[in-house]
Every structure is written in C-alpha cells, then in structure tokens.
Structure 1
Amino acid sequence: MKIYTTLIYAVCPRTGELLTYEGPYIKAISESDARRILDSTGRGYCHVSDILDSEVDEHTGKTTIYHNNN
C-alpha cells in the first residue's frame, strides 16, 4: 500500500490570495483509490498530490522510507 500526500487550496480571507497547504496523508493502493477515500470521508476538498517516498525527522535526523522506487 502506498502513502499519498494531499494539498488543500484555500483563499486567504485577509488578502484574497489563493494559498496552498499540506493536507492529510492517505494510505491507498492507487491514486484513484486515494481520491475515493477522500471523497467518501468528507475530505473531497483535498487534492491528491504525490506518493510519499520518505521523510526526515527534523529533531533526530532519522530517515523513514515508505516507498522505494527501485
């Protein structure tokens, strides 16, 4: 199962500028499955963005690999 990142687009109430925020991570077997999960759980406003490969803990420096493309 892959982990997909999501984005949330929202208009800033002060400036009217369209801003981009990081949304929740979604565990799914495909991008279309991630979209279905978002839609069926009331988070249809999120945009499925990318597959999360790895992340680095800023405090410990430890790298966690979620998906290996090799």
Structure 2
Amino acid sequence: MTSATGLLDAGGTEAVALREVGPLSGGSRMAPYEHFADKESLLAAVAGREPRRLGGIVDEAARQSRDSRGA
C-alpha cells in the first residue's frame, strides 16, 4: 500500500493504477489484483490506513518537541 500512497500523493486518485502498484512494490503488474478487486478497493484500504499513519506522524512530532525542550 505504500506504493499506492506514493502514487496518490504524487498525482491524486487519477495517478493510482493497480497495474502500476505491483511493480512499484516489487511484484508483478497483476499481483495487486490478488488482494484488491479494483482501484476503489485499493483506495479504500489506503484511506483506512491514513488515520494511523497521520497519528504516528503527530506522535513523533510531539515526542521530538518534548525531547528538544528537555522534558
């Protein structure tokens, strides 16, 4: 899903194609079809993962802020 996220970040939903995700992930062009029925399913999985990813980014920023203040 990291490859799909990269494509999404770079060019929006139009840039995401299942056949592109496979090679970017080190697999075949058809490999994503074993896990996702279609592009919408892949995008839904990416969207479902985003709150956790963003939460991790916020947590890391807060930790760095505390560390820099010596708290």
Task: State TM-score, norm by structure 2.
Answer: 0.28
Task: State TM-score, norm by structure 1.
Answer: 0.28
**Highest RCO, 1 vs 2 (Cα 8 Å, sep ≥ 6):** 1
More strand by share: 1
